Amino acid sequence: MTSGLARISSLPTRDAHDDTDVVASMRGIGKRYADLDALTDVSFDVCRDKIYGLLGRNGAGKTTIMSILTGQAIQTTGEATVFGSAPFENAGVLRSVCFVKESQTYPDDLCVGHVVTAAGHLMERWDQDFADQLLDDFQLPRRRKVKKLSRGMRSALGVTIGLASRAPLTLFDEPYLGLDAVARHLFYDRLLADYAEHPRTVVLSTHLIDEVANLLEHVLVVDRGRIVVDADADALRQRAVIVTGPTAAVDAFAAKGIVLHRESLGSHTRATVHTAGADDLDRGRLIDAGGTIEPASLQEFVIRTTTAAPTHSVSTHTEPTS
């Protein structure tokens, strides 16, 4: 049986992507603040026209990654590129990038309409008609000053700007936390519908994993400043399972995978497993022995991955060969 300490490398690989598909990349990125290593040896690619989930616990390094990609911070070591160039202090690159975060600030004395107009002047692909529709959808009063907006209204203003920007690379760092459940689902609906008509690369950072799971095409999980999962979302859905049954049967099934979490009560065991090498025959043996197997939710997988151990990783892609 392989524990969560092992490097997970046995998911089916997909073909290495063409370099022309890469919108943003990090190679060996480190970021140090005083005596804190916020990021360590972070490497990944973000490809064209996909929705990514950047997931992890508070303080894991998600915001730091987004800040480097959007030119709001510079790495200590390594190389970051966006559209082939370093993003820091690069106005040409940043005109094609929109970054909306939960702590987004706007001039207090501006009204909603003026903020939206100003955003439109900064973004090359801005769609004012879509912005107006979103203001109506979220019931945002155009003449109200920013300083008089509730937290929910500020969040709605942020996601309106992010969606209407139609930026080729759009990053949302939990700006929708201030929205109620109805407004959040409105955001998800508008994002999916507009993405279908106007594909672009979207990166969502969120704690509300179950809410966004069906939106995501690729998953990046950050833990303690390192990328521990870089995987196709469908592959994770197929491979992450919860196995329950007699301990011997569960352990036999899990022997071909990675055990992310395991708990036993008497002669029975429940385990969250990344089923790297298990096949239909292994599943049949488990069921014949009185065991059960069910898909693990993405949230369950992320929780177990980020609490199991500090050094394992999941990848479903290969590095391009030179």
Could you read off the pLDDT of 178-195 as tens digits, one per residue?
899 999 999 999 999 999
Average pLDDT, the chain: 88
pLDDT at 191: 98
Cβ 57 vs Cβ 223: under 8 Å = yes
Nearest alpha carbon to residue 298 among 231, 246, 244: 231
Could you read off the pLDDT of 246-283 as tens digits, one per residue?
999 999 998 888 899 999 999 999 999 988 667 778 88
Higher pLDDT, 283 or 110: 110
Could you read off the pLDDT of 131-178 as tens digits, one per residue?
999 999 999 999 999 999 999 999 999 999 999 999 999 999 998 888
* Per-residue pLDDT band at 4 (split at 50, 70, 90): very low
Nearest alpha carbon to residue 146 among 157, 135, 134: 157
Cβ 245 vs Cβ 291: under 8 Å = yes
pTM, two decimals, is: 0.87
Could you read off the pLDDT of 82-98 as tens digits, one per residue?
999 999 999 999 999 99
| Percent of the chain predicted with pLDDT > 90 | 73
Fill in the DSSP letter of residue 146: G
Alpha helices, DSSP H only, in the chain?
A: 62-69, 91-94, 112-122, 128-137, 151-165, 181-197, 209-212, 233-239, 247-254, 280-288, 298-308
Burial label, 145 (beta-carbon count in 10 A; 0-12, 13-18, 19+): middle
Angle of helix 151-165 relative to helix 112-122, nearest 10 degrees, comes to 30
Provide the token pair at 174: 């939990």
Helix (H) or strand (E) holding 204: strand 201-205
Name every residue whose Cβ is closer than 8 Å to that of residue 227 and which is 6 or more positions away in sequence.
Answer: 42, 43, 44, 220, 221, 313
pLDDT at 165: 98
Neighbour tally for 21: CB within 10 Å: 13
pLDDT of residue 11 exceeding 60, the answer is no
Could you read off the pLDDT of 279-317 as tens digits, one per residue?
778 889 999 999 999 999 999 999 998 875 543 455 555
Provide the token pair at 193: 């519908």
Domains and CATH numbers, the chain: 11-234 (3.40.50.300), 236-315 (3.30.70)
